[in-house]
Amino acid sequence: MELLQRPRRLRTSPQIRRLVQENSLSANDLVLPVFIKEGTNISNSIPSMPGFMQLSIDRLDSEIAEIASLGVKNIMLFGIPKEKDSVGSISFDENGFMQKAIRYIKTQLPELIIMVDVCLCEYTSHGHCGVIDDNGKDIDNDKSLPIFAKQAVSYAKAGADIVAPSSMMDGVVLEIRRALDKNDFKNTIILSYSSKYSSAMYGPFRHIAEGAPQFGDRTSYQMDFSNSDEAIKEVELDLNQGADIVMVKPAHTYLDVIYKVKDNFPEVPVAAYHTSGEFAMIKAAAEKSLLDEEKAIMEVTTAIKRAGADIIVSYFTKDIIKLLRQHSEVTNTK
Query: Are 222 and 254 spatial neighbours (Cβ–Cβ below 8 Å)?
Result: no
Whether the CA torsion 136, 237, 309, 144 is positive or negative: it is negative
Determine which one of 37, 73, 84, 249 is catalytic: 249
Coil, strand or helix: which one is 186? Answer: coil
Query: Are 264 and 257 spatial neighbours (Cβ–Cβ below 8 Å)?
Result: no
Catalytic-residue membership of 196: yes
In whole angstroms, what is the distance from residue 78 CA to residue 209 CA?
7
Determine which one of 196, 262, 283, 305 is catalytic: 196
In whole angstroms, what is the distance from residue 296 CA to residue 288 CA?
14
Beta strands in the chain (DSSP E): 30-37, 43-45, 53-55, 74-80, 113-118, 162-165, 189-196, 245-249, 270-274, 311-314
In whole angstroms, what is the distance from residue 116 CA to residue 96 CA?
14
Buried b (16+ CB within 10 A) or exposed e, 155-168: bbbbbbbbbbbbbb
Strands 30-37 and 53-55: parallel
Query: Are 194 and 234 spatial neighbours (Cβ–Cβ below 8 Å)?
Result: yes
The residues carrying an active-site annotation are: 196, 249
